[in-house]
Amino acid sequence: MQRSQSWSAVVPLSDTDVEASASPDELRDGIVAALTSDLGDGVVDSHVVSGDDVWVRVAAESWVAAGQALHRRGFTYFCFLSAIDWMPSPYGRGEDDPSADDDGDDTVDEMRSGYTGGDTRFQLLARVVDPQRHVGVTLKADVPEAADGSLAMPTWVPVYAGANWHERETAEMFGIAFIGHPDPRKMYLPGDFEGHPLRKDFPLLARMVKPWPGIVDVEPMPEKDEAAEGGTADDNATGETDGGATS
């Protein structure tokens, strides 16, 4: 199976730098190189998973230039645009067993960005595709926070007209204003809605009042089986994998 190789190229985050350089991918490395030559210092970081995907982080001021450069280089298909809030949710996952001890909480609270790193809490995320070469690029950019806490980024609409609705959605969900957007109304939410639902500090009230009966809520196994499980984990692995979902 050739494909299994490409899939096994997904590696733990800690090893990415080593792995990316170890297994060259001419097509995707070429994209990064081309983008670097277009934008210079605008390209902050990149991450190539060989044979699979490429991430490029650009500086906030190069966001539009990156879009233009990619569009010029054949990435004419606009896939999506969104954002990520890297702050860990202060409310947890809403599924914690109230009776369990809260040991895990301390480690969760630090903020870690994903591939290509990041310095800010919010990152823009966009994907464009070259329909000729069948290759896509995921772009990221840090969203700088102004002194008053407001977030603003330049709009992509002149480059990719399809970014219109995506930016409207991102604006209302994350509170990132898009400067120069032709139609900055709300996409889904009512006009007088307050708050930005996809921010991690926006509470999901349904989970606040009633914890989700999640994975911690399953019936315990009988004593005998649990003791034997260590030796025969492989045997019942196929049948029992969805225990969490069906509980």
Helices (H), 149-192: 163-174
* Distance in Å, CB of 148 to other proteins, minimum: 25
Q: Which of 44, 56, 51 is nearest to 25 (CA)?
A: 51
* Distance in Å, CB of 40 to other proteins, minimum: 26
Nearer to other proteins, 40 or 215 (CB): 215
Phi (first) and psi of residue 55, to 5 degrees = -115, 140
Contact 203, 179 (CB under 8 A): no
* Distance in Å, CB of 165 to other proteins, minimum: 4
Could you report how far apart the first and last alpha carbons of the chain are, in Å? 36
Give the footprint of other proteins on this chain (CB under 8 A): 2-4, 6-8, 10, 12-13, 52-53, 55, 76-80, 82, 84-85, 88-89, 93-95, 112, 114-115, 125, 127, 131-132, 134, 136, 138, 160-162, 164-166, 173, 186-189, 197-198, 202, 204, 207, 212, 214-215, 233-234, 236-245
Q: What is the DSSP letter of 86?
A: -
Residue type at 118? G
Nearer to other proteins, 152 or 212 (CB): 212
What three-state secondary structure class fits 8? helix
Nearer to other proteins, 34 or 80 (CB): 80
Contact 16, 47 (CB under 8 A): yes
* Distance in Å, CB of 20 to other proteins, minimum: 13
Nearer to other proteins, 65 or 137 (CB): 137
Nearer to other proteins, 134 or 147 (CB): 134
As beta bridge partners, residue 56 has: 46, 139
* Distance in Å, CB of 170 to other proteins, minimum: 10
Q: Which of 172, 205, 207, 204 is nearest to 186 (CA)?
A: 172
* Distance in Å, CB of 21 to other proteins, minimum: 18
Residues 158 and 177: their CA atoms lie apart, in Å, by 16
Nearer to other proteins, 1 or 146 (CB): 1
β-strands 135-142, 53-58: how paired?
A: parallel
